[in-house]
Amino acid sequence: MSQLGKETRIIDPELEDYKDKYYRELRDGRFKVWHSEKILVCPYCPDSRDYSQSDLLRHANRIATESKSAGFKDKARHLGLIAYLERKLIEKIESLESSKIKQNIDEELVVWPWVAVVANIPVQRKNGKYFGESGKKLKDEWIKQGYNPCKVHPLWSWRGHSGVAVVEFGKKWDGFSYATMFVKAFEVNRHGRKDYYDRDGRKDDKLYAWLARDEDYNSDSLVGEYLRKNGDLKTVAAILKEEEVKTTKLIMGLETLIDEKSKKTEEIESFISRTDTEIEIVEKEKESMIEKCNQVREQMKEREKEQLRKISFEHERFKKQLEDREKELRAREAMNDTEQRKLDIERNMNQLAIMEQNKADERMLKLADDQKREKEKLHQRIIDLQRKLDDKQRLELQIKQMKGSLEVMKHMPDEDLEAKKKWDLVQANLKEKEEELEDLEALNQALVVKERKSNDELVDARKVLISGLSEYSSRALIGVKRMGELDEKPFIAAAKRKGSSREDEENAIKLASLWQKHLGDPSWHPFKVITVDGQIKEIIDEEDEKIRSLKDGFDEDVYNTVVTALNELNVYNPSGRYPIPELWNQKENRKALLKEGVEFLLKKWKAQKQKKRVYS
């Protein structure tokens, strides 16, 4: 700035204040000075032309110091512009110097891995040799100061500790940062390399440190020998380039690995998708076969139970007749000798009848065993029937193929003798396969008829067994339960909780009878259809008016009793809506097997037989 400007600032403080104000406005960007890197304009002159930075500086200096027509504020504005341009010029010079220094650093040879040299370490002479501080102690001290060296290696010669140590900072860039900070701390206090060698023989107790470079590496000292053995000379730019190459190779390798993994993943996903589709098809076929097999098995069980029920009913009826006859005979034991002899004759006849009954029981047991074996045979026949069906389908396919071959051969020329022979052979095979198919269909029909007959016999046996067990107490292990019949006990229990009068119990019985009538009404169907896991099910519709009134007005036990009976009717007799007798396992509360009913009946018969022997 000119001498006049300096004098103005000293003489007129107000002008200095305005100058500072306009300088801040330009610094904060409120006025535009630069239109491009080389073209500038004066923001305070309306008709300003384009200037270079030096020309604009002369323009502002002329108005601020030489113009007589310029006002007070115009001079202050141009003084602020001068200060702003001078500051920008200084920043530009500093930036150029910084770039030049950085370029010099990038091109300068340094020792890598990063190493600093520390000199003038205090030593003491003992027994003809020099000793100084250990590397570990120095390392711990510098770690506490925040420089994080990897290793401190004091250099020793034949005379002992040399007073010099090499500080290693590793190969990473943070090591370079720590090494630079470490050296800068010494250079700030004028304890760098140049300071160490410029002492001119003066001695002090201060440490000197500098970053190891080519002059240290190539020297003939202990430092040079150590550096050549443990490091290399490289430029910072070369180290950066090596790191970039390594990083690029690593990224390319990772990208290749990711592509391979992605391709492998797609192949695995495709394989899993195909496998899932195949498994789904197989599962559907399996479920269909299981469903058909279960239907056949249930039909066989029903017929078996009905057949045993009939046998049991006849057995019980005949047994009751024998028991009544035995009672009459025992009542006549006190008669005279004549009557006694008659009684003995009657007893003998009764014993003969019992023997006959035993034989009949044995026949019944044998019949049950036969039914069991017949059931097993029937199951095997079902398997055979399935296999025959597969054979039949295979034959039908072969016949279709042969017929297709015959149609092709019919259109061949008559001169082709070889084709004629093949045609005759295929026609003979076709006839043989058709005969075999007819035999399989006949066998299949016979098996189906036999299966239906066996199922009918099992159903009849179950009906007989239900009829025979109807007389036993409901507490017996195996008995007869009327499916869909309402239990009055929950109604009576609910009435007792409200009041214990006789009238309350009678009202409860009437209420149970009323709900039994509701259950028997075919027009009342309080069910709704839902889908669970792909299967259609019928459940109680709780929004039904009667169901809702039942749930709101009565205990949970009463509600559950009505719902249970309603579900039973929906399963056993949905159209007639009246109770159906069923063979029941009272202990496990489930539908009893035909085998369980027969075993229970035989056990009762054996106990009764043992009792008769005791009284005889």
- Flag the least confident range among 4-13, 215-224, 280-289, 460-469: 4-13
Q: Which amino acid is at 577?
A: R
Q: Which two tokens stand for residue 41?
A: 């304009």
Return the pLDDT at 210. Answer: 92
The per-residue DSSP string of 364-397 comes to HHHHHHHHHHHHHHHHHHHHHHHHHHHHHHHHHH
Q: Tell me the average pLDDT across 579-594.
A: 84
Cα–Cα dist 105/607, whole Å: 114
User: Residue written as tokens 């009848």?
Assistant: 353
Average pLDDT, the chain: 78
Cα–Cα dist 572/591, whole Å: 12
Return the pLDDT at 166. Answer: 92
The set of residues, in sequence order, having a beta carbon less than 8 Å from that of 330 and lying 6+ positions away, is 615
Residues 119 and 126: beta-carbon distance below 8 Å: no
User: Residue written as tokens 């610094």?
Assistant: 27
Cα–Cα dist 309/462, whole Å: 4
Return the pLDDT at 411. Answer: 59
Helix, strand and coil in the chain, % to nearest 5: 70, 10, 20
Q: What is the pLDDT of residues 135-151, one digit of tens each?
A: 888 888 888 888 889 88
Confidence class of residue 3 from pLDDT cuts 50, 70 and 90?
very low
Measure Cα distances from 203 to 38, 121, 122, 129, 166 in Å. Answer: 55, 12, 11, 20, 21
| pLDDT at residue 1 tops 70 | no
How many C-alpha atoms does 418 have within 13 Å on its Cβ side? Answer: 0
How many C-alpha atoms does 165 have within 13 Å on its Cβ side? Answer: 23
- Report cis status (omega within 30 of 0) of the bond before 113: yes
Q: Tell me the average pLDDT across 282-298.
A: 86
Instruction: Kindly report the backbone phi and psi dihedral angles of residue 111, in degrees, each rounded to the nearest multiple of 5, phi listed first.
Output: -85, 135
Q: How many CB atoms lie within 10 A of CB 525?
A: 14
Q: Tell me the average pLDDT across 326-351.
A: 68
Confidence class of residue 201 from pLDDT cuts 50, 70 and 90?
low
Q: Tell me the average pLDDT across 146-161.
A: 87
Angle of helix 236-331 relative to helix 417-469, nearest 10 degrees, comes to 50
Cα–Cα dist 48/158, whole Å: 78
Q: What is the dihedral of CA 195, 199, 200, 201, to 10 degrees?
A: -140
Measure Cα distances from 130 to 123, 189, 201, 448 in Å. Answer: 6, 27, 20, 114
Percent of the chain with pLDDT over 70: 78
Q: How many CB atoms lie within 10 A of CB 356?
A: 12
Higher pLDDT, 417 or 475: 475
Q: Tell me the average pLDDT across 482-509.
A: 82
Return the pLDDT at 528. Answer: 85
Return the pLDDT at 423. Answer: 62
The set of residues, in sequence order, having a beta carbon less than 8 Å from that of 514 and lying 6+ positions away, is none
Q: Which two tokens stand for residue 218?
A: 């190539």
The set of residues, in sequence order, having a beta carbon less than 8 Å from that of 205 and lying 6+ positions away, is 120, 122
The set of residues, in sequence order, having a beta carbon less than 8 Å from that of 204 and lying 6+ positions away, is 120
DSSP letter (8 states) at residue 112: E
Cα–Cα dist 138/131, whole Å: 14
Burial status of residue 486 (CB atoms within 10 A of its CB: 0-12, 13-18, 19 or more): buried
Q: Tell me the average pLDDT across 195-206.
A: 78
Q: Tell me the average pLDDT across 550-558.
A: 86
Query: Which domains can be identified in the chain, with CATH numbers?
Result: 3-106 (no CATH), 108-230 (3.30.70.2890), 283-473+595-616 (no CATH), 485-578 (no CATH)
Return the pLDDT at 8. Answer: 37
Q: What is the pLDDT of residues 310-321, one digit of tens each?
A: 888 877 887 888
